Structure 1
Amino acid sequence: MRFLTASVLLLSAGLSISDKTTILRLPSPQTTKSYVKLQAATPAMTALTACLRAKTAFTGNGSSHFLSYAVGSMDNAFLFAYNGNGVIYSLVFNAIKDTSVSKVHDGAWHHWCFSWNSRGGKWTVYKDGMPAAAGTGFQTDKTIPTNGVWIVGQDQDTVGGGFDATQAYVGDITSINVWNTDNIDVAAVANCGDNFGGNVISWYDVSKEIHEVSTYREDLCKLK
């Protein structure tokens, strides 16, 4: 494992189901200096599924952000996070969707997904491949804008920046995949060998600009 103190561009591609994957470890104490920018060309989206694997025991006094997407006209185009009580929430087009899904910071690996569709505002939170909370009427007829910036581990108050240390994620995170549809077999994605990726962000293929975050590699099937 190595600690990167400068921006490094990593390329991962063509991994098979038996290969190890890159895991990010965002450090404690919280800092605005630790984050990863994902270089993804993003279309306008009227539906979305964002998935990731995370392991953390960090509580903090505020929110901890797995993933954020910001564009020039909207810093909270999409957020995936949990609050100080370990409860999952998300933002779409500047509106928050609180959920009852908790125990994020139990120190164990979990696979999390948030899906949304502007048609009817259907949303679902998945934990370890299974629906854990769902509803309708959330941000109907909205479109998440194109050509934004994806950041792992921080909430963007400006595009690509404006971080607040008290909102930084602390812990391990990997397998970040995003699709521009909610028609995804999440149970299959949550399987330990999820070597297929999203059509917006594919973890194995996306270029990662890493800032003061350590990395290691592990077989997904061995994560506990």
Structure 2
Amino acid sequence: MMKLAILFLMVSSCYAVPNDMSGKVIIFPAETNTAHVKVTPAVEKIFFSVTVCLRFFSDYNKEQAPFSISTPSHADGFVFFRGDGRYRLYIGDKGVIFNGLPTGLNEWNSVCVTWDSGNGLAQFWVNGKPSAKKALQAGASIAGTPSIMLGQDQDAYAGGFDVHDAFYGHVTDVHMWDNVLSPAEIENYMKCVISRPGNVVDWKNLEYTKHGYVIVEPNQINICP
């Protein structure tokens, strides 16, 4: 009976099932090059604009990637790093650095990242504070079947993990849209009000699989005041 139970857990962790993750967090409790969560997008299309929002909690100031998208043609299709007092965003394997944003340790940080191919402008919002808008990959797109992951940077399509880039902490309220959210919508997200769920990734209807040492449990740390 015990062997059957273990087999069931192993099989169930390998298949994506939609889940309402409201009030839950995904915890990456150790630095590894294996632990990650693979997210199945609700739609597959060519993306010409993107907004990704999430909240993270970590006491580690190294540069780490809580969210990444790779495509068959670009390992860094869309990935952002936080750490060393700055944020970095890569799209189509090209990146830009954002300075002067909150990188609080041992507290929840609410992050939204926007990118618009039409004008090539990218921007971070962290805990309600917007960054300067910076040029990145004007006229480009995120094309091909996306591999969306939490907890690891993908140095190859759907793999190529490096422990030095692994996220080490808690993640929650992950949403992705195929458009640039308005400042009012982003400000609402910062206040824990979701004006409209992500139409690509929706935390309340998240299809995902866990791999490696990953824990999902109810959140026990206050997120929004």
1:146 positional shift: 3.3
Structure 1, residues 15-45: CA drift from partner, whole Å, max 9, x if none? 8xxxx422011012x1012110001133211
Seen in structure 2, the aligned counterparts of structure 1 residues 193 and 219 have a Cα distance that, compared at 3 Å, is farther
Distance of 1:92 and 1:163 partners within structure 2: 18
In the alignment, what sits opposite 1:173?
Answer: 171
Change (3 A) 1:196 1:216: farther
Q: Tell me the equivalent position of 2:79.
A: 79
Q: Which residue of 1 aligns with 2:60?
A: 58
* Per-residue Cα deviation, 1:71-118 (whole angstroms, up to 9, x for no partner): 1111111001113x1311110111111000444251110100110111
Structure 1 110/90 Cα, relative in aligned 2: closer, same or farther at 3 Å?
A: same
Structure 1 equivalent of residue 4 of structure 2: none
- Mapped to 1, the partners of 2:203 and 2:88 lie a distance apart of 22
Structure 1 CA distance for aligned equivalents of residues 188 and 220 of structure 2: 17
Q: Which amino acid aligns with 1:96?
A: G
The superposition leaves residues 138-164 of structure 1 with CA deviations (integer Å, 9 ceiling, x where unpaired) of: 211111113211010101122211101
What does 1:61-210 correspond to in 2, within 5 Å? 63-83=63-83, 85-131=84-130, 133-184=131-182, 185-194=185-194, 196-210=196-210
Aligned to 2:6: none
TM-score scaled by length of structure 2: 0.85
Paired residues of 2:72 and 2:145 also in contact (CA < 8 A): no
Q: 1:130 touches 1:186 (CA, 8 Å); kept in 2?
A: no
Deviations 1:149-201 (A, max 9, x none): 10101011222111011110000111111111113310112222437421111
Equivalent pair of 2:36/2:151 in contact (CA under 8 Å): yes
TM-score using structure 1 length: 0.85
CA, structure 1 residues 209+64, in 2 after alignment: closer, same or farther (shift >3 Å)? Answer: same
Greater radius of gyration (CA): 2
Could you say what the CA RMSD is over the residues aligned between the two structures, in angstroms?
2.1
Contact kept in structure 2, 1:76 and 1:94, CA below 8 Å? yes
Distance 2:111 2:23 in 1: 17
Cα distance in 2 between the residues matched to 1:186 and 1:167: 27
**Which ranges in structure 2 are unaligned for 5 or more consecutive residues?**
1-8
**Alpha-carbon distance in 2 for matches of 1:70, 1:51:** 17
Q: Which runs of 4+ in 1 moved over 4 A?
A: none
Q: Higher helix share goes to which structure?
A: 2
8 Å Cα contact 2:56/2:172 also seen in 1: yes
Q: Distance in 1 between matches of 2:110 and 2:97?
A: 18
Say if 1:134 and 1:103 are closer, same or farther in 2 by CA, change over 3 A. closer
Distance in structure 2 (CA, Å) of the matches to 1:64 and 1:216: 22
2: CA distance between counterparts of 1:192 and 1:135? Answer: 24
